[in-house]
C-alpha cells in the first residue's frame, strides 16, 4: 500500500472515549518524505489534550506479523508509525461504562492516534522493518509496571480480527499469558484530593462526593499545606485534581501581628505550594476565593474586576488568586458570605432569636449568602463538565440583602419578630472595636457560572432549608 501524501491535518473520533485518530500531512518527492509527527500548537488547536509528553519511545520490528500488547499503561500516549505499516487494536480497560470498547485501524506514517491512560494498546506489523513510535507524558520506571493493566490478544469478547492469525504471528510468552476480559481488573480513574476537608466547605464536599472512591479527603492534620514536605509523600501521577477547601478566614484577627502571619501562611504560602504541584504534574487546581478581594465600591462585581482589597485577609486572598491564575488548569470560585456546617452568622442569629435577644445588625453591607452545599455543587459541576478554566463568581441567587435584612429573615423564620432586629451602620457597629475594614457591596455577577449550565439556587429558599435542617438535628 503506497503512502498518501498531502492529506489535511484532521481528527476523527472513535468508539472509545478520548481515543482520537489523526490524519497527518506527509510531504514527499523523489527523495522520500517529510512530516510533522507532533506539533503542539496545531494539535492542541485541533482538540488534542495538551498532555505534555516527556519521553519518546520507538519499537522497531524486523518482521511482518510481529504482534505486541494488549497493554494499558498509567499515562497518555501519542502513537504513530515512523516507517512501515501496522494494524492497531485498542481496548478500553478503564473503570466505567466504556470498559471493553474496541477500536481497530491500519496505520501508516500519515496517521497517528492519541491513547488516554488506561486504554489498552496493541499492534501487529504488516510490513517488515516497521518502526512504531510513541510520545508519553510520564517517565517509564520499573515501579510503574505494577500499575499496568493487560488483556489477552486472543480475548473472545474483544473479538479482534488480526490480519495475520495469532497462531502464525510472533508473540511474546508474556503476551500469550495475559488474562481474558472477565478477569481483568479495570484501571481506576485518577484521583481528586480535597485538602482542608474538615472545614465548612470541606464537610460539604465530603457530602457531595460521598461514596466516590476516586475522591480523597485530607484534614490539615493529615496534610499540612504550609509544609513543603507534605507534598513529597504522594504519587501525584495518580491524581488529576486538587480542591483547596482550606483558608484562614478570621478577618479581624488577620489585622494582628500573629494573625497577619497566619493568614499569609495559609492563604498565600500554602497556595503557592499547591500551585507549584499543580503545574509540575499538570493537575487541575480548584481554589475558593472571596468578595474581600474587592473594596466594595462597585455595586456588582464581575470576574475581571481589578483587585482592591481593604484589609490583610483580602490582601492574602487576592495574592492567592494571583498565584492560582498562572496554573494552566485552574478554577477560582469566588464566593461571599459563606454559610455551612459550624458557627456562622445564620446560626448565631437563630440562637439569639431563640433566647429573645434583640440585636443590632449592620445594614449598610449588602450582598448574597453562599451556602457551602451549593459551593460544593458548583465545584463538582465545573470539574464534571470540563468547563473552561478560569475564575467564576458564585453566590446563591436572589435580591441583594443587607446583614440586617438576613437577620430579620432568620428571626421571622424562627418564629420571632422581624422588628427585634435593629439596623445600624458599619461605623456604628465597630465603634471603639478593633476590626478589619469590610467591603460594603459584595454582590457578584452570576452570568458566567450560569453560562456553564449551572442552575443557581435561590438564597432565601436555601436559608429556609438550612434553618429547618438545623432545627431537625438532634
The residues assigned a catalytic role are 71, 134
Are the CB atoms for 444 and 400 separated by under 8 Å?
no
Contacts for 473 with CB less than 8 Å, ≥ 6 apart: none
Closest CA relative to residue 85, chosen from 131, 40, 35, 119: 131
Are the CB atoms for 342 and 204 separated by under 8 Å?
no
Which sign does the torsion angle of CA 365, 368, 374, 379 carry? negative
| Set of cell numbers at residue 118 | 488506561
- 382 burial via Cβ count (<10 Å: 0-12, 13-18, 19+): buried
DSSP state of 25: -
Are the CB atoms for 117 and 76 separated by under 8 Å?
yes
Are the CB atoms for 118 and 187 separated by under 8 Å?
yes
Contacts for 160 with CB less than 8 Å, ≥ 6 apart: 89, 102, 104, 122, 153
Residues 93 and 115: their CA atoms lie apart, in Å, by 12
CA angle 71, 215, 269 (to 5 degrees): 110
Cα-trace Rg, the chain: 28
Peptide bond into 267 cis (omega under 30): no
Residues 201 and 207: their CA atoms lie apart, in Å, by 10
DSSP state of 473: -
Residues 454 and 102: their CA atoms lie apart, in Å, by 34
Are the CB atoms for 236 and 283 separated by under 8 Å?
yes
Residues 439 and 339: their CA atoms lie apart, in Å, by 18
Contacts for 417 with CB less than 8 Å, ≥ 6 apart: 411
DSSP string, 177-203: TPPPGGG--PBPPPEEEEESTTSHHHH
Are the CB atoms for 88 and 105 separated by under 8 Å?
yes
DSSP state of 232: G
Query: How many C-beta atoms lie closer than 10 Å to residue 321's C-beta?
Result: 21
Amino acid at each position: 500500500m503506497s503512502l498518501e501524501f498531502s492529506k489535511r491535518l484532521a481528527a476523527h473520533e472513535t468508539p472509545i472515549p478520548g481515543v482520537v485518530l489523526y490524519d497527518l500531512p506527509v510531504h514527499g518527492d523523489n527523495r522520500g518524505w517529510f512530516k510533522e509527527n507532533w506539533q503542539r500548537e496545531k494539535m492542541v488547536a485541533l482538540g488534542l489534550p495538551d498532555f505534555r509528553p516527556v519521553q519518546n519511545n520507538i519499537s522497531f520490528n524486523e518482521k511482518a506479523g510481529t504482534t505486541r500488547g494488549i497493554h494499558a499503561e498509567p499515562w497518555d500516549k501519542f502513537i504513530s508509525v515512523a516507517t512501515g505499516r501496522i494494524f492497531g487494536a485498542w481496548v478500553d480497560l478503564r473503570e466505567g461504562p466504556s470498559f471493553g470498547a474496541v477500536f481497530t485501524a491500519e496505520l501508516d506514517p500519515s496517521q497517528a492516534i492519541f491513547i488516554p491512560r488506561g486504554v489498552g494498546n496493541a499492534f501487529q506489523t504488516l510490513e517488515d522493518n516497521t518502526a512504531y513510535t510513541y510520545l508519553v507524558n510520564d517517565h517509564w520506571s520499573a515501579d510503574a509496571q505494577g500499575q499496568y493493566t493487560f488483556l489477552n490478544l486472543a480475548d473472545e469478547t474483544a473479538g479482534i480480527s488480526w490480519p495475520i492469525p495469532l497462531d502464525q504471528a510472533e508473540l511474546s510468552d508474556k503476551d500469550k499469558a495475559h488474562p481474558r476480559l472477565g478477569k481483568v481488573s479495570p484501571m481506576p480513574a485518577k484521583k481528586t484530593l480535597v485538602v482542608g476537608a474538615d472545614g465548612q466547605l470541606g464537610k460539604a464536599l465530603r457530602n457531595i462526593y460521598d461514596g466516590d472512591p476516586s475522591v480523597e479527603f485530607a484534614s490539615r492534620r493529615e496534610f499540612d499545606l504550609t509544609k513543603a514536605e507534605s507534598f513529597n509523600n504522594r504519587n501525584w501521577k495518580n491524581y488529576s485534581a486538587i480542591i483547596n477547601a482550606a483558608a484562614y478566614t478570621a478577618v479581624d484577627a488577620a489585622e494582628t501581628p500573629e494573625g497577619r502571619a497566619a493568614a499569609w501562611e495559609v492563604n498565600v504560602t500554602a497556595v503557592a505550594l499547591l500551585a507549584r504541584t499543580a503545574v509540575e504534574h499538570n493537575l487541575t487546581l480548584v481554589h475558593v476565593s472571596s468578595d474581600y478581594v474587592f473594596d466594595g465600591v462597585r455595586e456588582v462585581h464581575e470576574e475581571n474586576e481589578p483587585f482592591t482589597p481593604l484589609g490583610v485577609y483580602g490582601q492574602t486572598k487576592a495574592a492567592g488568586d494571583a498565584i492560582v491564575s498562572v496554573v494552566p488548569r485552574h478554577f477560582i470560585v469566588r464566593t461571599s458570605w459563606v454559610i455551612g456546617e459550624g458557627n456562622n452568622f445564620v446560626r448565631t442569629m437563630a440562637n439569639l432569636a431563640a433566647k429573645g435577644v434583640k440585636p443590632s445588625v449592620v445594614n449598610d453591607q449588602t450582598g448574597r449568602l453562599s451556602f457551602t452545599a451549593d459551593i460544593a455543587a458548583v465545584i463538582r459541576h465545573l470539574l464534571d463538565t470540563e468547563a473552561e478554566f478560569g475564575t467564576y463568581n458564585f453566590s446563591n441567587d436572589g435580591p441583594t440583602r443587607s446583614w440586617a435584612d438576613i437577620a430579620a429573615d432568620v428571626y421571622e423564620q424562627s418564629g420571632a419578630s422581624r422588628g427585634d432586629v435593629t439596623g445600624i451602620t458599619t461605623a456604628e457597629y465597630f465603634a471603639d472595636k478593633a476590626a478589619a475594614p469590610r467591603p460594603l457591596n459584595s454582590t457578584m455577577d452570576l452570568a458566567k457560572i450560569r453560562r456553564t449550565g449551572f442552575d443557581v439556587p435561590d438564597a432565601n429558599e436555601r436559608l429556609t432549608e438550612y434553618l429547618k435542617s438545623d432545627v431537625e438535628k438532634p
